[in-house]
Structure 1
Amino acid sequence: MDMLALRAKTEAGWVLASALVLSGFLFFRYLNRMYLSLVNDNTTQRITKRIRDTNIHELPD
């Protein structure tokens, strides 16, 4: 086998492997952002509901 062909195949394999690692990293980063967004939205909704449900006259002076 020609050494240049072997080198090209090896480099192509490394490029493919690094692309897969990068795509996996980006995918999990996206999932993490989605999760944090959902958690923050849920927390904001609970706090807003508590504020709405609280009567101003029930608060201590």
Structure 2
Amino acid sequence: KESCFGRVVAKFGRKCTYVVIGDGSDEETAAKAHNFPFWRINSHSDTRALYNALEMGFL
């Protein structure tokens, strides 16, 4: 996952805000390695909370 995130950054640059969305510790670890925010999704309510955070400009 870390190499995947590295390829995304290489292609699109650092002037973007990337948010890693996942349900496992491997995604969270890779997000931390790239200093990306991580949003854990375990249920529909987590998805709704992410939508609200994006709409309000928190991420």
TM-score by length of 2: 0.26
- Bigger Rg, structure 1 or 2: 1
Greater helix share, structure number? 1
